[in-house]
Amino acid sequence: MEEGVKGDDEVQGSSLTMEKVAAAKQFIENHYKTQMKNIQERKERRWILERKLASSDVPKEEQINLIKDLERKETEFMRLKRNKICVDDFELLTIIGRGAFGEVEHVRAERNLLAEVASHCIVKLYYSFQDTEYLYLIMEYLPGGDMMTLLMREDTLKENVAKFYIAQSVLAIDSIHKHNYIHRDIKPDNLLLDKNGHMKLSDFGLCKPLDCRTLSTLNENETMVDENIREPMDIDGFPDAESGHRWKSAHEQLQHWQMNRRKLAFSTVGTPDYIAPEVLWSLGAIMYEMLVGYPPFYSDDPITTCRKIVHWRNHLRFPEDTMLSPEAKDLICRLLCDVEHRLGTCGPDQIKSHPWFNGIVWDELYEMEAAFKPEVNGELDTQNFMKFDELNPPSSGRTGSGTSRKQQLTPKDLNFVGYTYKNFDAVKALRDNPGELKMDDYTRKPRGGNGSDIEMLTAGGDAAAAAAAMLP
């Protein structure tokens, strides 16, 4: 008996040792990868400054001083990066969103993508850090709200407005594809608007590297056996006419969707209405909802919705009383179709060249005036977000990440070795204007089982809001 117990302990100890070895290997690899990335970014910042100076009328002596000033800031940046950041450095303002449960793989994936991708189409990550209980993601705050809230207010969007935001969505999706990631959770809730009405993509908890070979597939010809989906069903998700029940009109369908969508917004349960074989399908579903008022495969229950998606040929149609241009209908149909025929599978230029986008200047899409400008009264304004019940703030204590954490690491902790991240612009802002870092959105996801809350905080008390994700 004692030998058996001893053997189990040895196996367990060996397993933990292997996990530590794997974590150490990953940390070393990430460390040198980050070092090389930082060196490259430093060279790029100097090159940008030199290029601007070369095309300006700044005297030679002043140019030398500006370059020296940049070098001083770079040195200061390296020094400040070693300073610990913890929750005490921020002031909790309010909860502006609520998400699902945090999982180790999802948090790590989101942190890695946000730290790697620098794009005006993607929300910025300012910091990621951890303490003994939580993981934190400090992100840009976009006070314009999200597309879901806009659709709930407006019911439908005019084609020119929908065209603008679908075009920006195409650019956002392409920007992460260029970094070999796929989002896998494209939906109106994750399309955020800044104060000027421009859209940015958020929530990368389900993202995956493009070279991942273990992604599950959905066989459209697969027979779905479930007691809940054997009943006859019409195209709108209501009982079949043969059963004696009346089909609901497009207007009734819209009202039914709006009622359930509002309930869904206040729950921690996701929606399958945008579930997709891949992200371009989701884009087509969002475009349909923008113009029609509800998703193309909406139903009373998720299982029926999933069945309608699998058998999309039998369930995709446009309400007769909805006035859509032929080009809009064509684009939707060419996104909500088999992958072999789906527009964009050979690159974003396929979508950009579609006739519905005639008149869109793609290179200037984020420089031009937005098709919709939200009402924003100050950088701390939260009127464009739904109201949530306040929860107790996280316990304070300067237990930020770093080598000072001497406690014994658990297997769960090993997953987050090297989790800390600091953005150059954010650190420089703290150096230049202490207490005035302008950020926007903190997402906190507790490790416990209570889901996640997006909380709005400020840095130092005088800053604009920021968004943080906290996971225990």
Q: Which residues pair with 137 in a beta bridge?
A: 128, 443
Contact (Cβ atoms closer than 8 angstroms) between residue 201 and residue 173: yes
Phi, psi of 391 (to 5 degrees): -115, 165
* Residue whose pair of structure tokens reads 């945090």 in the numeric block: 102
Q: Token pair of 428, please?
A: 């420089």
CA distances 56 to 49, 51, 73, 421, Å, are 11, 9, 22, 34
> Structure tokens of 233?
């069903």
Q: How far apart are the C-alpha atoms of 114 and 135, rounded to whole Å?
A: 15
Question: How far, in Å, are 176, 243, 262, 458 from residue 381 at the CA level?
Answer: 29, 51, 22, 12
Residue whose C-alpha is closest to residue 273's, from 250, 300, 252, 292: 300
Please name the amino acid found at residue 128. Answer: S
One-character DSSP codes across 23-80 = HHHHHHHHHHHHHHHHHHHHHHHHHHHHHHHHTS---HHHHHHHHHHHHHHHHHHHHH
124 known member of a binding site = yes
Amino acid identity, position 137 = L
Tell me if residue 209 falls in helix, strand or coil.
strand
CA–CA dist 185, 207 (Å, integer): 8
Active site residue 185: yes
The CA R_g of the chain, rounded to the nearest whole Å, is 25
* Rounded Cα gap, residues 234 and 345, in angstroms: 31
Residue labelled with tokens 């859509």: 324
Among residues 131, 185, 194, 236, the one annotated as catalytic is 185
Contacts of residues 399-407 at CB distance under 8 Å and 24 or more positions apart, as own/partner, are: 399/86, 399/131, 399/132, 400/84, 400/85, 400/86, 400/129, 400/130, 400/131, 401/84, 401/129, 401/130, 401/131, 402/84, 404/84, 405/132, 407/132
Backbone φ and ψ of 199, nearest 5°: -95, 140
Q: What is the Cα–Cα distance from 317 to 327, expressed in whole angstroms?
A: 15
Q: Do the strands 441-444 and 181-182 form a parallel or antiparallel pair, or are they unpaired?
A: unpaired
Taking the C-alpha atoms of residue 226 and residue 244, their distance in angstroms, rounded to an integer, is 23
Active-site annotation, residues: 185
| Numbered residues of the known binding site for ATP | 124
| Numbered residues of the known binding site | 124
